[in-house]
Amino acid sequence: MRRRDRSRGQALVEFALILPIFVLLLVGMFDLGHVVWANDALATAAREAARFAVVHGGSDRSTCPQGPLPATYGGTVGTSTQCGFAPSSRTPYVDSRTGVKAQATRWLNGVGTSTISVCYGQVTTCTNDVDASGATNIDGTKVTVTVRSTVSLAAPSILGLGPISLSGTATMLVNN
């Protein structure tokens, strides 16, 4: 009878030793899924925002222009109700990227705090909405949207590590 009691105690000790490792692996799998999902959300947000920017280029036909307009822009600017965002109402028109950033934000639900940069022209990295020199939003101009976010994870925080930084970037040509 004593032998049986000893094996129960041994199983309990083995279980107590393995349980933390198992829980850490399980939480790590959920974290990996969270990172993959967040990375996909950032890439989708950047792509959809860039698509929005190229559709709302600076041709005279565009009533909801985004980005730096050419000096020769002769179109009329619509209202926020028509555009779905608040375009610049100042004359001359002030460079506005609010619609592009709003489009990216629509795709970022649940990702956390993100920064969105929209850059026009041939830029190597898109940060702080800095365009290439003399860039406008006319046909054929490159528009780059970069979305950055930090993702907090459970398993690394248990080990004392901080959040990881992710980003998504999309570049397209204005074609409106």
User: DSSP letters of the chain?
Assistant: -HHHHHHHHHHHHHHHHHHHHHHHHHHHHHHHHHHHHHHHHHHHHHHHHHHHHHHT-SSTT-SS--B---TT-------HHHHSS----SSSPPPB-HHHHHHHHHT-TTT-SEEEEEEESS-SS--TTPPPTT---STT-EEEEEEEEEE--HHHHHTT---EEEEEEEEEE---
- Name the more confident of 139 and 60: 139
Query: Which of 35-44, 64-73, 90-99, 154-163 has the largest mean confidence?
Result: 35-44
Is 156's pLDDT higher than 80? Answer: no
Phi and psi (nearest 5°) for 167? -150, 155
Instruction: Give the per-residue pLDDT at 89.
Output: 67
**The pTM is what?**
0.80
Q: Which of 3-7, 19-23, 38-42 has the lowest mean pLDDT?
A: 3-7
Phi and psi (nearest 5°) for 144? -120, 130
Instruction: Give the per-residue pLDDT at 28.
Output: 85
Joined together, the tokens standing for residue 170 give 């999309």
Is 1's pLDDT higher than 60? Answer: no
Instruction: Give the per-residue pLDDT at 5.
Output: 56
One-letter identity of residue 48:
E
Is 168's pLDDT higher than 90? Answer: yes
Instruction: Give the per-residue pLDDT at 2.
Output: 58
